[in-house]
Structure 1
C-alpha cells in the first residue's frame, strides 16, 4: 500500500545569492535524504582515479574499480542536486565543477565571504542581540518572532 508521500517529488531549495544560510541548511538535509553517501562526497570530495603509468590524467572509466565507480555515482548525485538548486547566476559560478565539494565550496566562498567578512557578520549579529529589546507596542508573540528570526540568522550564518 502506498503512503501519501510515495510518489511526491520534492523540489530542492533554490539559491539566488541572497538566501545562502537557509539554503545551506536545507540542502544538507535534501542531499542526505537522497543518499547520505552523496552528502559524504560534498565533505570528502571526489576525483577520478589517476593513471598508474607515466601518462598524466585520469584512468579510462573501463579501468575503474567498482568502488571508484560507486564514489563517482555518489558525487554525480550530489553535484546534480547542487546544479539544479541554484539560479542562473549562481550556476555560472559552478558550471565547470566536476566535484560536488568544489561546487559547494565555491558557493560558500561567494556567498559567505572571507574569514574577515564572517567575523564582521558575527559581530553585527552579536550587536543586534545585545540591542534587542521588546517594544512597548509589541506583543510577546511578536517579540518572540523577532528573537527567533535573529537566532535563526545566527545559526545559519558561517
Structure 2
C-alpha cells in the first residue's frame, strides 16, 4: 500500500462505494484502469476502516465483507442495537439517580461515592449532569440527622458554584466537629 488515504478520502469511498461491472473484460482499457484504481482505493479504505476503527468483536462481523461500503453497512446495522441498549441503560441510570437516598447507617463518603458512581456512568453515556444538580441531590437526600447542616450550608454557601468534592468536605468537617463536641462532655464526665 503505497499511499495512505486521507480520512476524507476514506469516507468518500465508503459513502459512495462502487459497483463492479458484470463483465470487466468488455470495458475499454481506460475504464479498466479507473475500475482498478477504484477497487484499490476501496480496499485501502476497507483496510483503514478495519485497522483504525474495529476491536476484535467488530472485526469478526466485517471479516467477510468484500467492499468498504459493505463493511460500513454491516457496522451501521450492528450498532443500531447498541443505540437501543444505550438508551435503556440511560433510562435505568436516570431512575437510579432519582431514587438514590442516603441510608440511615451509611456514611457521607459512602453515599457520595454511590451517587458519583451513577453520575459518572450517566456522563459516560453522554448525559450532561451538572455539579449543581448533584450538590442539590446530596443536600436533599441526606438523612434527617443532617438537616441542621443542610440548612447551614444552604444559608452560607453559593450552591451554584459549589463542587461535589467541596460539599463532601464541608459535610465531613461539620460531622467531625459535632462528633468531637459529643466526646468532650463524655471525657469531662469520666474525669470527675
TM-score range, shorter chain: 0.3 to 0.5
More helix by share: 2
For normalisation by structure 2, the TM-score amounts to 0.41
Structure number with greater Rg is 2
